[in-house]
Structure 1
Amino acid sequence: MKQSYSGPVKAVILDWAGTTVDHGSLAPVRVLQEVFAKRGVPISEEEARRDMGVLKIDHIRKILFSETVSARWSKAVGHNPIESDVESLFADFVPLQLECLVKYSNVIDGVAETVGRLRKRGIKIGSTTGYTRPMLEMILNPAAAQGYAPDCAITPDDVGAGRPHPWMIYANAIRMQVEPLEAIVKIGDTPVDIEEGLRAGVWTVGVARTGNMIGLSTEDFAALAPPEEATRLKNARAQLASSGAHEVIDAVADCEAAIDAIEGRIRKGERP
């Protein structure tokens, strides 16, 4: 019989946009809205954010084939959406996203310092994303220049499929030589981040304030009136918790307490 794991967290796997860079996860939303608007089919920010976190071509597919957008597409374009429309939209999306990424590559406050402290605890730092490899390459160097460079950075291109499949997490574990999976924590700002972690059999932590669930830049969030800020945070935390997150935090800078709590649960014999 396999002995239960009772040791410390060995690795943390972080999402990118909305978790470690791009407060509010603005880059993908702005480009998605631009791409659809150019076809005469404007989409709302809510429609652009609904499936955030999946591979971008899958994200476009989900938007296009949603009931409301599909109806608007048929009216504007003259035919019901088909798979070639997805491919065409994605072809438009890629260069615009590449152009936009550096503008929105600022590392979120506290990330670099927190990662430094995690490493002092012997924790390895991995990452997964909904970006393609060329897109991620655009932000790796700017992030490193700001003090954040994960030990491993996996994209859907590297493993054949994106979230919610667990393959990117498995690839992180293999490349960083970390086992068992119960010693890994996945941190991200979308429900599909949480699903990715749960499918992989690792612990999950949702990020409420800096990411897609609120969707505001640092400055816009700071400008909220206190009651509005409290309401938005409460709703974001609730959505991530209902997605199955083992812990919910407001930002990566708050993750050490969540990791301590998870290590306590491990010592009690709990499993993800």
Structure 2
Amino acid sequence: MSTPSASSAAAVAAAPAAPAIELVVLDMAGTTVVDDGVVEQAFARVADRVDLGPTLTRDEALQHVRDTMGQSKIEVFRHLTGGEEPLAQRANEQFEVAYGELVDELGVEPIAGAGDLVDALRASGRSVVLTTGFSPATRDRLLDALGWSVDAALSPVDAGRGRPAPDLVLAALLRTGASSVAAVAVVGDTTSDVLSGRASGAGLVVGVTTGAHTREQLLAAGADVVLDSVRELAGLPQFAGVAVPAAAPVAAPAAVAVPVA
């Protein structure tokens, strides 16, 4: 089984008791998929290609992107363009293009152990749903590259509102037939993920430090527990019996090449 780090071991010991978890809602970029600034790079390319208007400077716009990581991308662009809907839509389209370019250039790399965790959770009888602020096209491209089998993958357009609203979590519950929100665990690397989980009434809200926001930020947003990696989720008492293979003492796995569409 996966062995938690020292910081995560302390977090595991402090994790609250909760009903049996039937559904695990996992964020994608930064939580189960390595980001390494790719989202910011895509936004930077958009700023080079589209005049977002005079509302914010480039530095202010990029800071807003960092602060709102995990939220629906179209909502981010609506803010950046001062509510100019046609401009926001054009910028969002260019973001999808730019992100696709970066996927082609850099490939897709899962967070170490994330795929094993997904398999182990499903083998234990739990449902796994991936959620993201990306469009369905970008989301599905990532999922195809990873080759994971999940119960559902959802974008804001599938649910209503993006994070930090609870819609994605609640849509996942409805899609999988989980018995109650108390039986749902939400896992993410951003404060928006945590706020969405809290707003949904999820029984367990977990932050991970492999993405955009710090342990302190995630705890301040309301995370029940913060782990160093999503693979350590299996160490929480709510997931007793979920066996994730120990990480091999080798270099990080190579990125998965994605064919150019």
TM-score bin (small chain) = 0.7 to 0.9
The equivalent residue for 1:241 is 219
The separation in 2 between residues aligned to 1:19 and 1:197, in whole angstroms, is: 14
SS in 2 for 1:32: helix
> What does residue 212 of structure 1 align with?
212
Pairing partner for 2:58 from 42, 50, 75: 42
Corresponding residue of 2:149: 149
Deviation at 1:43, TM superposition (A): 3.2
Q: After the TM superposition, which parts of structure 1 deviate over 6 Å for at least 4 consecutive aligned residues?
A: none
Q: Distance in 2 between matches of 1:120 and 1:89?
A: 41
Residue 74 of structure 1: aligned partner? none
Deviations 1:161-181 (A, max 9, x none): 211222221221122111111
Whole-angstrom CA distance in 2 between matches of 1:180 and 1:114? 23
> What is the one-letter code of the residue matched to 1:204?
V
Tell me the equivalent position of 2:131. Answer: 128
Alignment partner, residue 40 of structure 2: 29
1:19 match: secondary structure: coil
The answer to which structure has the higher helix fraction is 1
Residue matched to 1:171: 171
Q: Give the secondary structure class of the aligned counterpart of 2:58.
A: coil
Task: Give yes or no for the alignment of 1:119 onto 2:133.
Answer: no
Unmatched segments (≥5 aa) in structure 1: 66-80, 214-235, 264-272
Q: Give the percent of matched residue pairs that are identical in Structure 1 and Structure 2.
A: 27
Tell me how far apart the structure 1 counterparts of residues 112 and 20 of structure 2 sit (CA, whole Å): 26
Match of 2:193 in 1: 193
1:139 and 2:142 aligned? yes
User: Cα 1:253–1:163, aligned 2, differ >3 Å: closer, same or farther?
Assistant: same
Partner of 2:6: none
Q: Is the CA contact (8 Å cut-off) linking 2:19 and 2:182 kept in structure 1?
A: no
214, 230, 243: which is aligned to 1:252?
230
Instruction: Identify unmatched segments of 5+ residues in structure 2.
Output: 1-16, 52-56, 241-261
Q: 2: distance between equivalents of 1:91 and 1:246?
A: 36
Shift of 1:96: 1.6
Which structure has more RCO (C-alpha within 8 Å, separation ≥ 6)? Answer: 2
Q: Which has the larger radius of gyration?
A: 1
Worse-matched range after superposition: 127-136 or 87-96:
87-96
TM-score normalized by the length of structure 1 = 0.72
Q: Do the aligned partners of 2:233 and 2:239 also contact (CA within 8 Å) in 1?
A: no
Match of 2:26 in 1: 14
CA contact (8 A) 1:52 1:212 kept: yes
Letter in 2 for 1:142: A
Equivalent residue of 2:21, what SS? coil
Question: For residue 229 of structure 1, what is the aligned residue in structure 2?
Answer: none
Contact 2:18 2:238 in 1 (8 A): no
The CA deviation at 1:50 is: 1.2
**Aligned residues, how many?**
216
2:109 corresponding residue in structure 1: 106
Which of 75, 82, 92 is residue 58 of structure 1 equivalent to? 75
183-192 or 169-178, larger mean C-alpha shift: 169-178
Partner residue in 1 for 2:258: none
Partners of 1:243 and 1:11 in 2: how far apart?
A: 22
